[in-house]
Chains A and B, each alone.
Chain A
Amino acid sequence: MTILRALLALLLSVLPATAEQIVLGLSEYRVSITADFDGSEILVYGAVKRQEPIPAGPPLQVVVTVEGPSTPLTVWRKDRRWGIWVNSAAVTIDRAPSFYAIATTGPLREVLSETEDLRHRISITRVIRAVGIAAQADDSPAFVNALQRIRIQEKRFVLKERSVALSDQTLFRTDIELPAALTEGDYRVRVFLTRDGRVLDKLERSIFVRKEGLERFFFRLAHDQPLVYGLLSLFVAVVAGWLASAAFRLLRN
C-alpha cells in the first residue's frame, strides 16, 4: 500500500501541472494506399479535460498539425542563359515534410506566439529546416519561399485557419484532407491547446500510411530486387506485345 502511494505521488509529480489537458481521437490510425487510392480524410476530434472551471481571460484555442515524413530536398532556380531557361542555382534544404497541414481555431498569429512557434515548430516556415543555406546561393531565402509557394500550390502544405470547430471551450473537431499523391511513412499528428498565444498542453499521435496489395508488391520489388523487377517488366511488355499481335490476327481472320 505504501509502495502504491509512493508510485502515485511520483506519477503526480512527473505529470505536467496543467489545468487543461487534451483527450484525443482520430478517425483512422492507418491509411492504406491501394491502386484506387484517391486521397483520404482524417477526422481529428477530442475534448479538453479539466478539474476546475474554465479559467477567465482570453479564450482557449486549438491547433492541429499533420506532418508527413521529412526528407532532404534540392530547390533549383532557372535563369535565362543563351536565350533558354536553364537550372542555374540550387539550395539544399536539410529537411522538409512531404506533407504538412495546419488547422486552427483562429488566425495562427493570434493563436500562437512567435516564441512558442519557434519552440514547437508549428508554422510552415518553422517546420522546414533550412540551416546553413546562406552560403549556397545569393538570395537563398527566396528558395525557401519558393519551396513553400510550390508546395502550397500543390496542396501539400495547407494552412486552414478557423477550420477547427471548438464548442464551449471543451469539444473540438476538424477534418484534415490527405492528398492523392501521398508518400509512405509515419504521419505525425500534433494537437496544441493555447491560451493568449502560450501552449498549455500538447499531444502527439501517429498515422501509419502504407502501400497495400499490388502497390506494395511493385514498390518493394522495385527497391529490394531491382534486377528481378526490371526483368519482370520486360517480360510483361514482351508478352503484351505478342498477345496483342496474336489477338488481332485472330480478329482479322
Chain B
Amino acid sequence: MQLYLPIAEVSVNAFLLLGAGGIVGFLSGMFGVGGGFLITPLLFFLGIPPAIAVATGANQVVASSVSGVLAQLRRKAVDFRMGGILLAGGVAGSGLGIWVFALLKAMGQVDLFVQLSYVLFLGLVGALMLNESLRTLLRSRNPNAPIRRAHVHTWVHRLPFKMKFRASGLYISVLPPLGVGAFVGFLAAVMGVGGGFIMVPAMIYLLGMPTKVVIGTSLFQIIFVTAFTTVMHAVTSQTVDMMLALILIFGGVVGAQIGARVGVRLRADQLRILLALLVLAVSFKIALDLLLTPGETYSIVAGRLP
C-alpha cells in the first residue's frame, strides 16, 4: 500500500515504513536505546529527504522515550535533579545545533555533516562499547583478574559549583552534566537522534553515575531535548512529517515491546556486544558511502543558493 507523505512529498510503501519502525523499535527495546541512530539512516535509505528524516526522527524518539521512561519511573530509576541539569545544557546545545543545521543547509553541506557525525560518533561509541564488553566477557571467564574500582576520582570531581544528586548518590560539580547535556543536545539537532548512545556512556564513565539510574535519567532528558528539537525544526524549516512520524511510532512501539521481551532472555554482556557490532555496522555503511565513488556525482536541491 503506497502512502503519500504530505510534507516529504514522496509516496512510500506504508508496510515498508511500518517494518522499518518495527525493526528499529525491536532493537531499541532489546538494547534500551532510543533507536534514533538507526531510524534516520534507514529513512535516508528509503528515499526520504535527509532534512525530513532528521526532524521526523527526532519526533519519533519523543514517543519511544516517553514509552521507555514510564517503565523506568515505576522502578524509581530516574534522577530528576540530574535530568534537569542535563536538560538545561541540552536545550542550549539543541538551539545551537538547529542554527548550525540551517547554516550548513544553506552551504549545501548538511548531508556531509550529518554523515560525518554518524561515522565519527557511532564508530567511536561502537568501538568503546565493543572493547568494554569484550573485556568484561574475558574477565568473567577469568576469576583471578583484578577487580576494577566502581568509582574513580578524576579531574571531573575537582570542578566548582558542586551539587548533591541524591538518586545517583553523587556530589559533583554541575559543569560536566551541563557540558554533556549541551553536547548531546547539539547532536540531537543535527543527527535527529536522542543521543542515548553517547549520553549513557558519558553518564557512567564521565559522571560516575550508578548504572541503575542511567537509562531512566537519560531517557527522561532525551524526551525534552528531542521535543524541543522537533518544535524548532517544525518552526524553522517545516520538515516534520506527522504522517511519517505516526507510522514510525506505531511500528516502533510495538517492536519495542517485543524487543524488550526478547532482551530479557539474553545475557547483558552478550547484548552489549551485539549492540556494539550493530552500531559499528551502521557507522561502517555510512563511511563506505562517503569513501566510494558515488554512482551520480550531481544532486538537486530545491531553492536558490543564498
Interface residues of A (CB under 8 A from B): 33-39, 71-80, 83-87, 90, 92, 143, 146-147, 149-151, 180-183, 211, 214-216, 218-219, 222-223, 226-227, 229-234, 236-238, 240-245, 248
Chain A residues in 8 Å Cβ range of B111:
87
Q: Is B299 an interface residue (CB 8 A)?
A: yes
A233, B7: Cα distance in complex, Å: 13
Chain A residues in 8 Å Cβ range of B67:
241-242, 244-245
A238, B59: Cα distance in complex, Å: 9
Q: Is B40 an interface residue (CB 8 A)?
A: no
Q: Are B4 and A74 in contact (CB under 8 A)?
A: no
Chain B residues in 8 Å Cβ range of A238:
62-63, 66, 227
A79, B299: Cα distance in complex, Å: 12
Q: Are A218 and B231 in contact (CB under 8 A)?
A: no
Q: Are B298 and A77 in contact (CB under 8 A)?
A: yes
Chain A residues in 8 Å Cβ range of B301:
73-76
Chain B residues in 8 Å Cβ range of A34:
4
Q: Are B257 and A35 in contact (CB under 8 A)?
A: no
Chain B residues in 8 Å Cβ range of A83:
291
Q: Are A74 and B304 in contact (CB under 8 A)?
A: yes
Q: Are A233 and B4 in contact (CB under 8 A)?
A: no
Q: Are A230 and B299 in contact (CB under 8 A)?
A: no
Q: Are B253 and A240 in contact (CB under 8 A)?
A: yes
Q: Are B298 and A231 in contact (CB under 8 A)?
A: no
Which of A71, A241, A242, A243: most chain B Cβ within 10 A?
A241
Q: Are B254 and A234 in contact (CB under 8 A)?
A: no
Instruction: Return the chain A residue nearest B291 by Cβ.
Output: A84
Chain A residues in 8 Å Cβ range of B6:
211, 214-216, 218-219, 222
Q: Are B2 and A230 in contact (CB under 8 A)?
A: no
Q: Which of A38, A86, A180, A223 contacts B109 (CB 8 A)?
A: A86
Q: Is B1 an interface residue (CB 8 A)?
A: yes
Q: Are B63 and A76 in contact (CB under 8 A)?
A: no
A242, B297: Cα distance in complex, Å: 44
Chain B residues in 8 Å Cβ range of A76:
108, 298-301
19 A-B contact pairs sorted by A residue (CB < 8 Å): A34-B4, A37-B2, A73-B302, A78-B294, A80-B293, A83-B291, A150-B298, A151-B300, A181-B11, A183-B9, A218-B242, A222-B6, A222-B240, A222-B242, A229-B242, A234-B62, A234-B227, A237-B59, A241-B65
Q: Are B66 and A241 in contact (CB under 8 A)?
A: yes
A146, B235: Cα distance in complex, Å: 33
Which of A72, A75, A77, A181: most chain B Cβ within 10 A?
A181
Chain A residues in 8 Å Cβ range of B300:
73-76, 147, 150-151
Chain A residues in 8 Å Cβ range of B254:
244
Chain A residues in 8 Å Cβ range of B138:
none
Chain A residues in 8 Å Cβ range of B283:
none
Q: Is B303 an interface residue (CB 8 A)?
A: yes
Q: Is the interface of B mostly helix, strand, loop or mixed?
A: helix
A80, B292: Cα distance in complex, Å: 10
Q: Is B3 an interface residue (CB 8 A)?
A: yes
A80, B3: Cα distance in complex, Å: 37
Chain A residues in 8 Å Cβ range of B4:
33-38, 180, 215
Interface residues of B (CB under 8 A from A): 1-4, 6-7, 9-11, 59-60, 62-67, 70-71, 108-109, 111-112, 227, 230-235, 238, 240-243, 245-246, 249-250, 253-254, 256-257, 290-291, 293-294, 296-305
Chain A residues in 8 Å Cβ range of B63:
237-238, 240-241, 244
Which of A147, A230, A231, A237: most chain B Cβ within 10 A?
A237
Chain A residues in 8 Å Cβ range of B291:
83-85
Which of B10, B109, B227, B246: most chain A Cβ within 10 A?
B227
- With both chains docked as a complex, state the minimum distance between the C-beta of B254 and any C-beta of chain A, in angstroms: 7
Q: Which of B65, B71, B108, B231 contacts A230 (CB 8 A)?
A: B231
Q: Are A244 and B256 in contact (CB under 8 A)?
A: yes
**A183-B9, A240-B253 in contact; A75/B243 too (CB < 8 A)?**
no
Q: Are A230 and B240 in contact (CB under 8 A)?
A: yes
**A36-B3, A222-B240 in contact; A234/B231 too (CB < 8 A)?**
yes
Q: Are B245 and A38 in contact (CB under 8 A)?
A: no
Chain A residues in 8 Å Cβ range of B60:
237
Chain A residues in 8 Å Cβ range of B256:
244
A237, B235: Cα distance in complex, Å: 17
Chain A residues in 8 Å Cβ range of B305:
74, 90, 92
Q: Which of A73, A84, A226 contacts B235 (CB 8 A)?
A: A226
Q: Are B297 and A227 in contact (CB under 8 A)?
A: no
Closest 6 CB pairs of A and B: A241-B66, A230-B234, A244-B253, A180-B11, A146-B298, A230-B231
Q: Are B299 and A218 in contact (CB under 8 A)?
A: no
- With both chains docked as a complex, state the minimum distance between the C-beta of B142 and any C-beta of chain A, in angstroms: 39
A180, B5: Cα distance in complex, Å: 10
Known pairs A73-B303, A75-B301, A87-B111 / 15 extra A-B pairs, C-beta < 8 Å: A33-B4, A36-B3, A38-B2, A73-B302, A75-B298, A76-B108, A86-B109, A143-B298, A149-B298, A151-B300, A181-B9, A230-B235, A237-B63, A237-B227, A244-B254
Chain B residues in 8 Å Cβ range of A229:
234, 238, 240, 242
